[in-house]
Structure 1
Amino acid sequence: MAQVYDVLLVRHGESEANAQGRFAYETWDPPLTETGRQQALSLVEQLKNAPIRHIVTSPLLRAQETVQPLAEAFHCTPQILPDLAEVNLGIWDGKRLKDLEASHNEDFEAWRRDPEAYPPPGGESILSVGRRVLHALEDFVTSQEPGLTVAATHADCLKGAALVITRATGPAARTLFIPNCGQLLVRFLPSFHRWAVVLPPIHFA
């Protein structure tokens, strides 16, 4: 079989931003809540038999805290990949979701419908997020020994990656739900120079 590289994308556990219903990109770097810390511990149990060789993470605290227990369990030092960071939220960074909803902001409503055609003012489109995540992961995995890589990142990063791989359009992002510590297994195929979503998920029993 030709060489392939598997990456398990993991959304971070519940953060203080999630609990408060606030966007968090650059204006603050919230930690996990107690619930988020428990989710991170549960991740260790879920993946205890996985053939993990590498762990990479977004530079944001909530992602790093999510994979720290896993890194300790596998005696692995996580590597920070800046391009796994949260979507650039532009002028909405730090704002509460319910305040934006209550304002009936036309830009916000358009973004809710199609985050590709109407990115946050001063921010990123959903497909550009997916492309930067996949490019960063391709560069990483092809420079390492083969083995499963766990990558801690953010909900829109997982959605964007899924859209890029499946060649879906921006509105399709609104049909995807990624819970805290939700996971997506993807595979890079160097001989075809493309990514694939692995279905059904591999079970590490």
Structure 2
Amino acid sequence: MATLILLRHARSAANGSGILAGRSPGVGLDDAGSAQVAGLSKRLAEVPISSIVASPLQRCQDTVRALAGERGLTPVAEPGLSEVDYGDWTSRKVSELTQEKLWSVVQQHPSAAVFPGGEGLAQVQARAVAAVREHDARVSAEHGPNAVWVACSHGDVIKAVLADALGLHLDGFQRIVVDPCSLSVVRYTETRPFVVKINDTGSDVSALLPPKESEQQSSDAVVGGSTGAPGGAA
């Protein structure tokens, strides 16, 4: 199947304010986020991108706008990749939320966490994974198994997708770190996903390049470990 680049939106105004923005409208990027977006195009300059899918929220749309324009692509707005609906927690200070009884559930037993007036984290994982799988199949059908595509979403949503790809129970997803404007890479096959990168903020994108036509696609894991991408780090 295709290669999926999970892109967390660049730093937003809410990220540095200590406020849980959730699905609040009008949350754009701050100056640091705008700088991250400028660097993103350079990081991905050599990566052929066939499709860009993004959460409908402004901070994700702002993150992919320039990249899409450079590639002549129109971002597909995907509700399944939208931020968690935090319900009554939306727009509240994180420092206050840590005092809520539900906070410890979110940290220790997230699969059981349902935000008051919002959705549960198990629901988030189900709809995000379904959206990613659907678009991955679409991109593969339209552009071939060596295609590369981008899905821009939010921290908890990406962590939930990665947990699924890793075969990790949702209760362990808080062990995954996904920074603003980081890249995580997954390749789905008929029998299992391969997680290639997590929370990458560097400039080496060799692992994102599609395999050569002569390289056979396989669902089998490499015994003894991967030999690494040509020219990449060992």
TM-score interval, normalised by the smaller of the two chains = 0.7 to 0.9
Distance 2:153 2:23 in 1: 15
Runs of 4+ in 1 over 6 A off after TM superposition: none
- Residues 15-35 of structure 1 deviation map (CA, whole Å, 9 limit, x = unaligned): 111121211223333001111
For the pair 1:30 / 2:31, whether they are aligned, the reply is no
Conservation of the 8 A alpha-carbon contact between 2:52 and 2:74: yes
For the pair 1:129 / 2:148, whether they are aligned, the reply is no
CA shift in 2, pair 1:182/1:117, >3 Å? same
Q: For 1:61, which of 52, 58, 63 is the aligned residue?
A: 58
Partner of 1:159: 159
> What TM-score do the two structures reach when normalised by structure 1?
0.87
Distance 1:105 1:136 in 2: 31
Partner of 2:227: none
Distance 1:198 1:128 in 2: 25
Distance 1:155 1:199 in 2: 15
Q: For 1:52, what is the secondary structure of its paired residue?
A: coil
Conservation of the 8 A alpha-carbon contact between 1:67 and 1:152: yes
Q: For 1:32, what is the secondary structure of its paired residue?
A: coil
> What TM-score do the two structures reach when normalised by structure 2?
0.77
Equivalent runs, 1:111-190 vs 2, <5 Å: 111-143=106-138, 144-146=142-144, 147-189=147-189
> Which runs of no fewer than 5 residues in structure 2 stay unpaired?
199-204, 210-230
Taking only aligned residues, the RMSD between alpha carbons, in angstroms, comes to 2.0
Alpha-carbon shift at residue 89 of structure 1 (Å)? 0.9
Alpha-carbon shift at residue 151 of structure 1 (Å)? 0.8
Distance 1:6 1:123 in 2: 32
Partner of 1:47: 44
Higher relative contact order, chain-length normalized (CA < 8 Å, sep 6+): 1
Name which of structure 1's ranges 138-147 and 51-60 shifts more when overlaid on structure 2: 138-147
Distance 2:39 2:86 in 1: 29
> Which runs of no fewer than 5 residues in structure 1 stay unpaired?
none
Letter of the 2:52 partner, please give it. Answer: I
Which has the greater radius of gyration? 2
Distance 2:122 2:161 in 1: 7
Distance 1:111 1:29 in 2: 26
